Amino acid sequence: MSQSILDQLLEMGFDKQRAELAVKKSDGLPDAMDWLEKNQDTEIEELLAEEESGPSVAKVDGDAVAMSLVCNECNKKFRSQREAEFHANKSGHSDFSESTEEIAPLTEEEKQQRLAELREKVKAKRANQAVVDKEEQKRNEQIRQKATKESQDIKEELQRKEQIKEAAKKRQEKIDEMEAKKRIKAKIEADKEERRRKAEEAKAAREGRAIPAAAPAPAPAAAPARPAANHNEARLRLQTSNGNIMKTLPAETTLFEVAQMLETESGLAVSKFVQNFPRKVYEGSLDFGKTLKEAGLVPSAALIVQ
């Protein structure tokens, strides 16, 4: 019978060492499950130490036959040594004595009822543990999501800075390219002038004429003085789907930064800016890398945001 009870306890998922102790300290499956429930938070070493000591039991006098055990501290009666040990573990009582009084055994119906009650307790306990585990899993998932979001925010910020850096690089490359073209054009003009001069000298030599002196290049006419303009800010009227937005920004602000500002403040995803007078469209990384001053939007401009 004990082996059968042990097998049932193991099938229910109880630890083998605890289940073996429960079988020793109880009388039947219900008592064993009750003992396991009461001692679930007690260390196995402590349970083993209690098993070795055990409660003290006073013997009956004379030749009388002991039919039960009595707890002298609470007067509760027990059918077997196991039940008495179970009570001792649960209550902490240690003073027991044998009794000649016989206790009627539980009926089969009572045993089944107690077993059903204990199984319900085990089921409820496992359900509660499942809720605790689910909450713990939820908290861990929230922590993971927060860490992922922070990592994503850092990644997006790095990408934004890289875009600004790339736009500035392309802007500088364009400036360098324009300067190189100017130098090449100037060299071509100088070469053409040198060839023309040499041709004139050769022609004069063939005709026996004096070689004409190279005429000095006429000095460029002085441009009329204009008052120097120093515009450090740009006043922008930004026409969006949500209405007009007025902004005064430093002239060195890039169009990319303006687009980022609109996205942050108004939730607008900007793909391009359109200026009607004069008609210009600013889009792509090259245009967005321009400052407001380079784009000709200083001191003021009206842009349609698309």
- More confident site: 193 or 104: 193
Q: Once rounded to an integer, what is the mean pLDDT over residues 20-25? A: 82
Residue 66, pLDDT > 70, answer no
Q: Once rounded to an integer, what is the mean pLDDT over residues 253-259? A: 92
Q: Once rounded to an integer, what is the mean pLDDT over residues 47-51? A: 73
**Could you give the percent of the chain with pLDDT greater than 70?**
85
pLDDT for residue 246: 92
pLDDT band at 124 (very low <50, low <70, confident <90, very high): confident
pLDDT for residue 102: 72
Please give the mean pLDDT across all residues of the chain. Answer: 81
pLDDT for residue 65: 56
**Could you give the percent of the chain with pLDDT greater than 90?**
25
Q: Once rounded to an integer, what is the mean pLDDT over residues 68-87? A: 81
Residue 169, pLDDT > 60, answer yes
Max CA pair span of the chain: 166
Residue 229, pLDDT > 60, answer no
Q: Once rounded to an integer, what is the mean pLDDT over residues 270-290? A: 90
pLDDT for residue 247: 92
pLDDT band at 54 (very low <50, low <70, confident <90, very high): low
Q: Once rounded to an integer, what is the mean pLDDT over residues 33-58? A: 72
Q: In sequence order, what are the beta bridge partners of 283? A: 272
pLDDT band at 78 (very low <50, low <70, confident <90, very high): confident
How long a stretch of residues is the chain?
A: 306
pTM above 0.95, yes or no: no
- More confident site: 57 or 243: 243
pLDDT for residue 255: 93
Domains in the chain: ranges and CATH: 2-106 (no CATH), 233-305 (3.10.20.90)
Q: DSSP letters of the chain?
A: -HHHHHHHHHHTT--HHHHHHHHHTSSSHHHHHHHHHHTTTS-HHHHHHHHHH--EEEPPSTTPPP-EEEETTT--EESSHHHHHHHHHHH---EEEEESPPPPPPPHHHHHHHHHHHHHHHHHHHHHHHHHHHHHHHHHHHHHHHHHHHHHHHHHHHHHHHHHHHHHHHHHHHHHHHHHHHHHHHHHHHHHHHHHHHHHHHHHHHHTPPPPPPPPPPPPPPPPP-PPP---EEEEEEEETTEEEEEEEETT-BHHHHHHHHHHHH-----EEEETTTTEEEEHHHHHTSBTTTTT--SEEEEEE-
Q: Once rounded to an integer, what is the mean pLDDT over residues 23-30? A: 77
